[in-house]
Amino acid sequence: MTKINLTDLTIRKAHEAMKTGDFSARELTQTYLNKITEVNPNLNAYLHLFDGALKQADEADKRFKDGTAELLTGIPMAIKNNICIKGEITTAASKILENYRAIYDATVIEKLRKAGAVFLGGTNMDEFAMGGSTENSAYGVTKNPYDDTRVSGGSSGGSVVAVAMDGSLASLGTDTGGSIRQPSSFCGTVGLKTTYGRVSRYGAIAMGSSLDQIGPVTKNVADAEIIFDCIKGDDDMDSTTIPENLIKELKVKEKMTIGIPRHFMKEGIDEDVMKNFDESIEKLKSLGHVIKDIEIPNIDYALATYYIIMPAEVSTNLSRFDGVRFGLYKDGGENLLQDYMKTRAEGFGPEARRRIILGTYVLSAGYYDAYYDKATALREVMKKDFTKAFEEVDIILTPTAPTPAFKIGEKSDDPVQMYLSDIFTVSANMVGVPALAVPSGFTERDSKQLPLGIQFMAPWMGENILFEIGKDFLGEK
Amino acid sequence: MEIKDIEKLAELARIEMSQQEKEKILGEMDSILGFIDQIQGAKVDINGREAGEVRNIMREDGDPHESGKYTKDILKGAPKTRDGYVEVKKIL
C-alpha cells in the first residue's frame, strides 16, 4: 500500500490524489484507522469507531471510477457524538444516553453522505456540550496532542483532537458558546461557528437552541469552506434555518477594515496571548488591511448574559431525558415521579445538574424578570451594538481564548473560572454572527509548544468574508 | 440562596440529590450568581422592547409518512414497552 503523508494532507489534495489514483479512498480510510489505533488510547478523541467506514470508502472508490466523485467523496471525517448518525451509538458523552442508537441521520450527515464522505467515528465532548475542557465527559477527558497533561478544550475537544492528531482529515463539532473555536485555539486547528440559522440543527442533540450551531473543524480555511458549502442551507426539519431567499451574499473586499474592541481586553488575559494577538495585528497590517479601534458598548455583559440564557434553554431541553422513551432507565421508584428523579440523578453528571438547577432558577417565578427577561433584552441591545460596529468595520478581531490550553484538573473545581475561558467566543453566539478561529502561532509552557489562536467575526451571513481574511492570514491564497 | 431553595429547584428539575450534593451546589450557585448578577448594572429597559424580525416559520404539514412506519425503531430505544406503547409506573 502507498504510504500516505497525513500531516500535509488537505481535502483538495486528497481529492486530487484519489482522482489520479495515487491512493484509493479505502487506503486513505485505512491509514486514518491505523493512526487512530495508535494514538487514540492515550488521547481519547474518539468514543466509538463506526463499522461502516471501509464500506463507505469502497463506495467512494466506485464514484471515482464512474466519474461522479465530488470534493468530499472518500474524505474521512470524525463526527461529534451529539450529532445523530442512523444506527450508531450517540451518547452526547452522557451516561443517560449510554446505549442510545440514533434512529435517523442529522441533516448535515445526510448532506455529507450524499457527497460521499466517510464517517470514521463519534468523538468525545463535554457532556451535552457543556464545558470548555472535555473534563465533563462521562467517558474521560480528551488530552491535548501538544501536551498530554493539558486539556484539549471543549466542548468539541474530541472533534478537534481527531484532526490535530491526524486521526481524521476533518470533523464536525457544535458551537453554543465557543465549543468549536476554543478547542481549535488550544490544538491549532481551524474552526468555524456559522451564522445562526445557516446550518440545520436537525439531528444535533439540543443544548441551547437559540445558540447551537454545527460547524467544521479542519486543518486550513479552504477545507472549512468546502464542508460549509456542503452542510449549509435551509431545512424543512429546522424552522430556525434561514430561507434561501433571505440569504444575502455579502461583498468581499480585498483590503478590509478590521475592528479591535481593545476596551474588552483589559483583564484576565495571558501575556503571551496578548503579545501573539498584537503580532497577528501587525501581520494583518502588512497584508494591507486597515486596523481600527472600536467600542462595542455592552460586550462586557456577553458572558454573564450567556450564563442566564444558555442554562435556561438547557434546563428546558434536558427535561426530555426521563427514562421513558430512550436512554438510561433507573428502576426502583414507587411511582413515575420517583423513577424520573432516580433516572436523572444517575444519568446526569455534575455540570449538567449545575446548569439545569441554574436554568430552573433563572426561569422561576420571582426571578424571571431580573434574570431571564433582562438577559433577553440585553441580548437585543447587543445585536444592535454589533450592527452598529459592522457599519464601521468589515471584521471584528479578538484572541480566540484568553489563555493557552490549561492543565487537566486546573479549573475543574471552579465553574466560574472555567466559564471565563469562553469570554471572547460567546458574543458571536449571543448575537448570531459567524466567527472563524484560526491558529496564530505558539507559546512555550514547561518546554512544550502550545498553539494560540485568533478569532474573526463577520456580519450575519458573512462566512465568505471570514474565508477570505482567514486564507489571507494563513497564506492560503 | 438557602438549602431549601436548592431542594425546591431539584424537585422542579426532577433530580434526586444527596444532602452533600445540595450543599456543594449551594456554594457553586452563590459564586455563579455573583458572576451573572453583573447584568443588574446594565442599562436596559425590559419593557421598551421591539418585536424582532417577524416572518412565518411554519410550513404545511404535508406529505406525512405512513402511520407506524417508525414505531418499531422508536420503541426499540425505549426502556419498557408493551403492545406498541412505552410503559411507565402509575402516576398517582
Q: Is A184 a catalytic residue?
A: no
Instruction: Determine the distance in angstroms separating the CA of A4 from the nearest CA of chain B, rounded to an integer.
Output: 40
B46–A contact, CB cutoff 8 A:
yes
Q: Which residue has the higher pLDDT, A411 or B53?
A: A411
> What is the chain A residue with the closest CA to B28?
A415
Q: How many other C-beta atoms lie within 10 A of the C-beta of residue A417? A: 15
- Active-site residue among A94, A133, A155, A315? A155
Query: For chain B, what are the domain ranges?
Result: 3-41
Residue that the C-alpha cell 402511520 belongs to: B67
Beta strands in A210-334 (DSSP E): 213-218, 257-260, 290-293
Between CA A67 and CA A422 the distance in angstroms is: 45
CATH number reported for the structural domain that contains residue A209 in this entry: 3.90.1300.10
- Per residue in A189-214, pLDDT tens? 999 999 999 999 999 999 999 999 99
Q: What value, to the nearest 5°, has the Cα angle with vertex A30 and ends A26 and A34?
A: 175
Instruction: Determine the distance in angstroms separating the CA of B67 from the nearest CA of chain A, rounded to an integer.
Output: 16
- Active-site residue among A94, A137, A179, A200? A179
Q: Label residue B91 by pLDDT band (50, 70, 90).
A: confident
Q: Is A421 a catalytic residue?
A: no
Mean predicted confidence (pLDDT) in A65-71? 97
pLDDT the model gives residue A342: 97
End-to-end, the C-alpha distance of chain A in Å comes to: 33
B3–A contact, CB cutoff 8 A:
no
Mean predicted confidence (pLDDT) in A8-12? 97
Q: Assess contact for A440 and A275: CB atoms under 8 A.
A: no
- Per residue in A221-232, pLDDT tens? 999 999 999 999
Residue A69 CA: distances (Å) to CA of A32, A54, A57, A85: 20, 17, 12, 22
Closest CB to A356 among B15, B34, B49: B15
Mean predicted confidence (pLDDT) in B5-17? 97
What domain range is A408 assigned to? 1-477
- Indicate the SS3 state at residue A343: helix
The C-alpha cell at A231 is 452542510
Q: What value, to the nearest 5°, has the Cα angle with vertex B45 and ends B42 and B51?
A: 125
pLDDT the model gives residue B52: 67
Region at A216 (left for phi over 0; alpha for psi -120 to 50; beta for the rest): beta
- Indicate the SS3 state at residue A193: strand
| Count of pairs with CB atoms under 8 A, one residue in A, one in B | 136
Of chain A, the percentage scoring pLDDT greater than 90 comes to 96
Between CA A187 and CA A185 the distance in angstroms is: 6
Between CA A100 and CA A23 the distance in angstroms is: 36
| Residues of chain B neighbouring A100 (CB-CB closer than 8 A) | 77
Closest CB to B13 among A100, A307, A357: A357
pLDDT the model gives residue A430: 98
CB neighbours of A207 closer than 8 A, spacing ≥ 6?
A82, A128, A129, A130, A174, A176, A310, A313, A314, A317
- Per residue in A234-251, pLDDT tens? 999 999 999 999 998 899
Mean predicted confidence (pLDDT) in B25-36? 95
Residue A193 CA: distances (Å) to CA of A127, A137, A184, A430, A438: 19, 22, 11, 12, 12
DSSP string, A79-93: EETTB--TTSB--TT
Q: What value, to the nearest 5°, has the Cα angle with vertex A286 and ends A284 and A292?
A: 50
Mean pLDDT score across all residues of chain A: 96
pLDDT the model gives residue A2: 62
- Among A96, A267, A357, A364, most B C-beta atoms within 10 A, so best to mutate, is A357
Closest CB to A358 among B17, B29, B73: B29
Mean predicted confidence (pLDDT) in A285-300? 97
Closest CB to B31 among A341, A374, A416: A416
Mean predicted confidence (pLDDT) in A87-99? 96
Least confident of A164-178, A381-395, B46-60: B46-60
Between CA A125 and CA A106 the distance in angstroms is: 18
Residue B33 has φ and ψ, to the nearest 5°, of -65, -35
DSSP state of B22: H
pLDDT the model gives residue A79: 98
Q: Is A283 a catalytic residue?
A: no
Q: Assess contact for A262 and A292: CB atoms under 8 A.
A: no
Q: Assess contact for A452 and A195: CB atoms under 8 A.
A: no
Beta strands in chain B (DSSP E): 81-82, 85-86
* Domain B3-41: top CATH class: mainly alpha
Mean predicted confidence (pLDDT) in A9-19? 98
H or E stretch including A53?
helix A53-66
Residue type at A163 in one-letter notation: V
The C-alpha cell at A38 is 495508535
Q: Label residue A1 by pLDDT band (50, 70, 90).
A: low
pLDDT the model gives residue A267: 84
Q: Label residue B63 by pLDDT band (50, 70, 90).
A: confident
Beta strands in A378-470 (DSSP E): 395-399, 435-445, 448-457
- Per residue in B32-60, pLDDT tens? 999 999 999 998 887 777 766 677 888 88
Between CA A392 and CA A394 the distance in angstroms is: 7
Residue type at A428 in one-letter notation: A
Q: Give yes or no for residue A27 having a pLDDT over 60.
A: yes
Q: Is the ipTM of this complex over 0.90?
A: yes
- Per residue in A412-425, pLDDT tens? 889 999 999 999 99
- The count of domains in chain A is 1
Q: Assess contact for A116 and A73: CB atoms under 8 A.
A: yes
Pairing mode, strands A395-399 and A290-293: unpaired
pLDDT the model gives residue A455: 98
| Residues of chain B neighbouring A344 (CB-CB closer than 8 A) | 13-16
Q: Is there a cis peptide before residue A184, judged by omega within 30 degrees of 0?
A: no
Q: Give yes or no for residue A407 having a pLDDT over 60.
A: yes
Residue A10 CA: distances (Å) to CA of A33, A190, A417, B33: 17, 12, 36, 45
